[in-house]
Structure 1
């Protein structure tokens, strides 16, 4: 398995290197859109990324890639006309996210740089214009459809226009609430974690390489990258971290300080206007047996108040839950898929521990408080509330209005985008290389004049 992944990654990055070489030696224009051009190397780079997803070689996919690039070029050109801006921070964040994923796939930063035959810094600069255009196109697309909504009458018409034989069949869905608590440490319990952070800071100030110490000991997701967080504005960090990052000069190492995540210290690498480039080391808080015991006692007390009717679940969650995702929704968990943010969740999308907790419950009942580990590895305690359970069924307006409304809205969005593109294609000079003119996906882009 690992050998196959290594071979695939090698193929992908060798392909990427070939693309860069082609760009310098035998590149050509494959399409012109208004005042912009699309190069063969642009298509080939997208194809290399397609292969990186584990897909099999497919020459026809290049037709789809060129169609996407044509769409992107048309949107980004209109974005310039409409004065839609993309900040350097947005581009940096997107690039950093991509590189983190690519590094994970390649098995680390050093191996990725070897595959690319260039530093990540150089690769970022090579990719920056493309990412900038992608983000501008995305903003333009959002601008076109941001006011699209559907009325209940439109939802009804959309549903009645569907073929009844092809209506989707929905599995069991539930509405669930949660109250979550994470153990809180006392000052005395935090001391050992602060001492560890102070010890690492001393290693750095005594001459050890900051990046190496971060890779070995930091407990943050940036550790594989030497703790590097890239350029960010104040808004991208919690206030304690931002305050420390923006008061130091380039090269300075901060004292150890505390945030809700644990104890950090950071180094400022560069200042650029309202942005600062830092790297940091984090030592996370870890619950002690005593802190878990205190949290369990508090959770049991709230559970007893709720289940005996002395405290309603909504207020119990709002005032006591530590879940930032659900506490301000009265403890109700939202379906994260799509844009409807419905409280109805298919049971096959639930965490295994949540499903096991609510499976034996009847609507209106509560699971007992139990310990769990969240996506970040943090230990907490939780109990769930089952508000409703809908049995498997064929789609209907009564039970599935929210989902059908989202489908109707998406249909309206697609129609609006199609109308917009049709208008722009008719009034924009578009030329496509002869060897791409047989692509079915591109027929609509080829001028009939």
Structure 2
């Protein structure tokens, strides 16, 4: 039956996703704590025979090798992230490592480029996170990875990051052109037996009105003057990257010196892209404004349609008076809604300062699914705490919100619709069903890719692991 086939696939796929998550983000691990070695027992499917050579090569895929210790490191990373390794065998872990090696190997064959600058940027970002998690001491991270020095660790880590990036780019390339038609979605749903239809958890639709405190011209000018001073220092020989680490308020790029790589299709705001693509290599922009604050940009390199740059973001400080004025304004809006002078949706269209939701009457879009429903068990904890106690059509009191960039706003929230836990319905749950159908089609595309590439690639598995029952035909039987 179709669903049973799907379920069998889902078991392997769930494992792949779980391990992929932990391994792909392994550099972020470093752990909430430094843990002792946790090595899974040899697999239940381990064949008879002696022990494997410690840290010996157990597999080769193209130009890549897999060591027995790589399997142990995979289990360590999962354990460090709080995951369970109870149901993951060494054979399954090896299968996942083989997949990653084949992705990376084929990425090189397909001329996918991962630049040293990209790796350095990833390195700085991950190291900054990791050292913060262990009290700011990079030596603890080095100790965790059992390296003798920071430099040895960085060399080792750079190779890992480059391989992971190659694998990620290859996976993306395989599935990027996979699309699903409405007819395929309908056929996918029809083939699922009624008694095996998935159940979707309770959901809600949420709307909000946002009021931003007004920043005075004087406060804006202070930021412009500060950025001009930084720009002048760089022109006189200071390091732009160092200035970005010290002063930029962009948490996504500040730790790695303000570095970004982008093309015209990269989803940055228009004002930012317009300035970035107007500069020559080595040129530094004048301060300019976006909805995030004020920026200056320095272009490092231009490669065809791709630009490597660094930027510094500084947002003006909002005064107490401006905050007070914003709270009074949003309180007046709430009074009008509660007094039935205006609907929440119309108030959002007329009064909200949030461009992304204003036209839709304040309705929020779930960033994970891109539809308007939020499943309660997967909802952002902050948002859930704000809406969980609201009754039907009740409007929250003004809420002071501070985003990850330190920007303060006031907002009102209301729940516009509640959907109870229910069995999948084609009409009501089309978006989710489409996502499931697309995932199945992507899995099939990846499986077909593996079948073809395994045949054309040098692959060798050594010793006891030749007896593993792999999901893919790594042994070419």
Q: 2:156 aligns with which of 126, 132, 137?
A: 126
Map of 1:145 onto structure 2: 175
8 Å CA contact 1:89, 1:232 repeated in 2: no
8 Å CA contact 2:337, 2:344 repeated in 1: yes
Q: 2:122 aligns with which of 69, 94, 98?
A: 94
Map of 1:72 onto structure 2: 100
Residues of 2 paired with 1:446 and 1:100: CA distance? 41
8 Å CA contact 1:47, 1:61 repeated in 2: no
Map of 1:397 onto structure 2: 426
Q: TM-score, normalised by structure 1?
A: 0.71
Q: Deviations over 1:43-62 (max 9, x none)?
A: 45444433432456779644
**CA spacing shift, 1:433–1:113, aligned 2, 3 Å:** same
**CA spacing shift, 1:152–1:284, aligned 2, 3 Å:** closer
Map of 1:39 onto structure 2: 66
Q: 2:165 aligns with which of 117, 120, 135?
A: 135
Alignment of 1:134-283 (within 5 A): 134-188=164-218, 221=251, 228-229=257-258
Residues of 1 paired with 2:76 and 2:388: CA distance? 44
SS of the aligned residue for 1:332 comes to: coil
Q: 1:410 aligns with which of 430, 433, 439?
A: 439
8 Å CA contact 1:256, 1:265 repeated in 2: yes
Higher helix share: 1
8 Å CA contact 1:89, 1:231 repeated in 2: no
Gaps of 5+ in 2: 1-30, 39-52
**CA spacing shift, 1:406–1:216, aligned 2, 3 Å:** closer
**CA spacing shift, 1:84–1:317, aligned 2, 3 Å:** farther
Q: Note the aligned Cα RMSD (angstroms).
A: 4.8
Instruction: State the 1:218 CA deviation.
Output: 7.7
**CA spacing shift, 1:389–1:46, aligned 2, 3 Å:** same
Q: TM-score, normalised by structure 2?
A: 0.67
**CA spacing shift, 1:415–1:277, aligned 2, 3 Å:** closer
Number of equivalenced pairs: 420
**CA spacing shift, 1:76–1:315, aligned 2, 3 Å:** farther
Instruction: State the 1:312 CA deviation.
Output: 7.4
8 Å CA contact 1:109, 1:224 repeated in 2: no
Between 310-319 and 380-389, the greater mean CA deviation after superposition: 310-319
SS of the aligned residue for 1:396 comes to: coil
8 Å CA contact 2:250, 2:405 repeated in 1: no
Residues of 2 paired with 1:423 and 1:298: CA distance? 63
Instruction: State the 1:342 CA deviation.
Output: 1.4
Q: Indicate yes or no: 2:396 matched with 1:386.
A: no
Instruction: State the 1:85 CA deviation.
Output: 3.5
**CA spacing shift, 1:357–1:145, aligned 2, 3 Å:** closer
Residues of 1 paired with 2:74 and 2:193: CA distance? 36
Instruction: State the 1:378 CA deviation.
Output: 3.7
**CA spacing shift, 1:355–1:107, aligned 2, 3 Å:** closer
8 Å CA contact 1:89, 1:233 repeated in 2: no
